[in-house]
Structure 1
Amino acid sequence: MPQVVQVVVYPAAPDGGRRVRVAGSFVGMAYTVIDIVEFLRAAGLEDVEPEDVVSAEWIEWRGGGPGAWVH
Structure 2
Amino acid sequence: VANMPGAVPYTSTIALNNATLPYTIQLANKGWKQACKDNKELKLGLNVVKGKICYKAVSEAFDLPYTNVDTFLD
- TM-score band by shorter chain is under 0.3
Provide TM-score, normalisation by structure 2: 0.23
Greater CA radius of gyration, 1 or 2?
2
Which structure's relative contact order is higher, taking Cα pairs within 8 Å and 6+ residues apart?
1
Provide TM-score, normalisation by structure 1: 0.24
* More strand as a share of residues: 1
